[in-house]
Structure 1
Amino acid sequence: MELQELLILVIEPSRMQRNIITNHLRSLGVQAIEEFSDASEALERMRSITPDIVMSAMHLPDMTGSELVGEMRKVAGLDEVVFFLISSETLYRYLEPIRQSGAATILPKPFDPEELRKALLSAVEYVDDRQNADEDHDDAFEDLWVLVVDDSKMSRRYLSRILTSLGVVNQREAKDGAEALQVLKNQRFDLVITDYNMPNIDGLELVQHIRQYTDQPAVPVLVVTSEQDEEPLISFKQVGVTAICRKPLSYHSLKQLLKHLIVDQTI
């Protein structure tokens, strides 16, 4: 797929902001763009045609961008649509649901056109991989086992889709560190992907336990987190985490990292 083949829905109440966004998209070669000023009309349109990307502001007349992506994730077909947030919002209570939903990117207003281009190319890669899920997989992924640990069901589903696009069919999920440790007692894994902030046992405690008390202390552990404070992330490095990724996740960046962690370390 090329950029000019994408169907993008732009949801923005300000006509001026919509014009800025659509002009940038057209300058990058995107041709199929549909514009909406509120979420309800856009959701109704999505029921008849599935877009490749939805680009939305945070504050809409009828709901927030967080509520919009939440509604999309409840609908089969729309739950896999790439979501971009374009907003100057900085409050945690608004942004955290977007990060946990598997949003592809959060672009500030005004955004850097180069960052938009990179995000679009990453989205094209995701759409291509999703559409060709059964083709051209690296054989090195076929026999691998990956454990995904996150208290957000939407985040687990997003990570699972990325793994599936790579050809990883052997996956297990756990909703927190406590459940993950029970799974690890009975099965060996080639990679553990974990969130940081979780109930019962968080990601930091999970990594510590894996490194010190399990029979697979050398398993690669990737932390995927929306944590903005650097201090706990330094603690992760001290206990032996393999890599750290921030939410929202760039599909391309995460895919390349997973290939390095899973494939390059096993050949």
Structure 2
Amino acid sequence: MNLEELFVIVIEPSKVQRTIITNHLRDLGIGTIDEYDTGKAALEAMHLQIPDIVLSSMHLPDMTGTEVVETMRQDPELENITFLLVSSETHYRYLEPIRQAGAIAILPKPFSVQDLSRALQSTLHYISDAVEEHTTEEFENLRVLLVDDSKLSRKYLHQVLENIGIQVITEAEDGAQALETLKDNAFDLIISDYNMPNIDGREMVEHIRTHSEQPTIPVMMVTSEQNQNQLAAIQSAGVSALCAKPLSYDVMKHIIEQLVFDHEL
């Protein structure tokens, strides 16, 4: 599969902005692009022909980009479509649900063609890995504990892991549940959020490193946390990799390979 084969839906109320985005897509080789100025029209169209990528603005006439992706993630026919946000929005209230729902990238306005190209290539690999028989024995046997209090985020990350070829995935809703699970199960990798109720990601890692029977297990923390003091505390707790949401498919796959197979970053 290549970029020319991708089908992209663009949702943007501004005709000028839609033209800019679609021109960039065509310059990168995308041949099939449908354009919509409202979320409702785009969602209806998705049921008629499933796109490979939905590229949306945040503020639409009838809903937000957040509501578009959340609607997609709750629909069995649309839940696995990759979503890319293009927006000048910086407010946490709008962006956090997008990160949790599993956007493959958030690009600013104006965005660079290089950033768009990287996002498209990552999507291409995500789709290709989902449909091709590429799974290695190492990935098949990898035991992963996925920890996140957001059901949408767990659902997206679970799909990403399956696309990579990982088949043994256990989920936990927070750090407390994860620690209970670790008492009776061995894992090769933990992928966790930071901000969670009961026991957060930092507390979970500290407990694993000092009290667990698996103190050296690699822990990859994927978080939308922006506070530098909090991030420093997470680092000092002993995480193996600290990654910002949204995390591209290519980057996530590469980090997992390094953590589990190379044992170093």
Counterpart position of 1:120: 120
Q: How does 1:74-93 map to 2 (within 5 A)?
A: 74-93=74-93
Deviation at 1:136, TM superposition (A): 1.9
Counterpart position of 2:41: 41
State the alpha-carbon separation in 1 of the partners of residues 152 and 254 from structure 2. 22
Query: Which amino acid letter does the alignment assign opposite residue 116 of structure 2?
Result: L
Deviation at 1:182, TM superposition (A): 0.6
Q: Does 1:151 align with 2:149?
A: yes
Task: Give the 3-state SS of the residue equivalent to 1:78 in structure 2.
Answer: coil
Counterpart position of 2:261: 263
Q: How does 1:1-267 map to 2 (within 5 A)?
A: 1-132=1-132, 135-265=133-263
Task: Give the 3-state SS of the residue equivalent to 2:48 in structure 1.
Answer: coil
Task: Give the 3-state SS of the residue equivalent to 1:208 in structure 2.
Answer: helix
- 2:143–2:188 CA contact under 8 A, matched in 1: yes
> Can you list the C-alpha shifts for 1:167-192, whole angstroms capped at 9, x where unaligned?
21111000000110110011011001
> Can you list the C-alpha shifts for 1:22-77, whole angstroms capped at 9, x where unaligned?
00000011010000000000000011111000000000000000011000011113
> Can you list the C-alpha shifts for 1:84-140, whole angstroms capped at 9, x where unaligned?
0000001110000000001000000000111000110000000101122xx121221
State the alpha-carbon separation in 2 of the partners of residues 77 and 259 from structure 1. 30
- 1:149–1:180 CA contact under 8 A, matched in 2: yes
Query: Which amino acid letter does the alignment assign opposite residue 26 of structure 1?
Result: R
State the alpha-carbon separation in 1 of the partners of residues 49 and 257 from structure 2. 33
State the alpha-carbon separation in 2 of the partners of residues 77 and 254 from structure 1. 25
- 2:47–2:77 CA contact under 8 A, matched in 1: no
State the alpha-carbon separation in 1 of the partners of residues 5 and 140 from structure 2. 31
Name structure 2 gaps, 5 residues minimum. none
Pairwise CA RMSD: 1.0
- Aligned residue-pair number: 264
| TM-score of the aligned structures, taking structure 2 as reference length | 0.98
State the alpha-carbon separation in 1 of the partners of residues 32 and 43 from structure 2. 17
Between 1:72-81 and 1:53-62, the stretch displaced more is 72-81
State the alpha-carbon separation in 2 of the partners of residues 98 and 230 from structure 1. 21
> Can you list the C-alpha shifts for 1:127-165, whole angstroms capped at 9, x where unaligned?
101122xx1212212222100000011111111112111
Between 1:159-168 and 1:7-16, the stretch displaced more is 159-168
The share of aligned pairs that are identical, in percent, is: 53
State the alpha-carbon separation in 2 of the partners of residues 121 and 21 from structure 1. 16
Query: Which amino acid letter does the alignment assign opposite residue 92 of structure 1?
Result: Y
Q: Which runs of at least 4 in structure 1 moved beyond 4 Å after TM superposition?
A: none
Query: Which amino acid letter does the alignment assign opposite residue 87 of structure 1?
Result: S
Deviation at 1:264, TM superposition (A): 2.4
Between 1:95-104 and 1:154-163, the stretch displaced more is 154-163
- 1:221–1:243 CA contact under 8 A, matched in 2: yes
Query: Which amino acid letter does the alignment assign opposite residue 25 of structure 2?
Result: L
- 1:105–1:248 CA contact under 8 A, matched in 2: yes
| TM-score of the aligned structures, taking structure 1 as reference length | 0.97
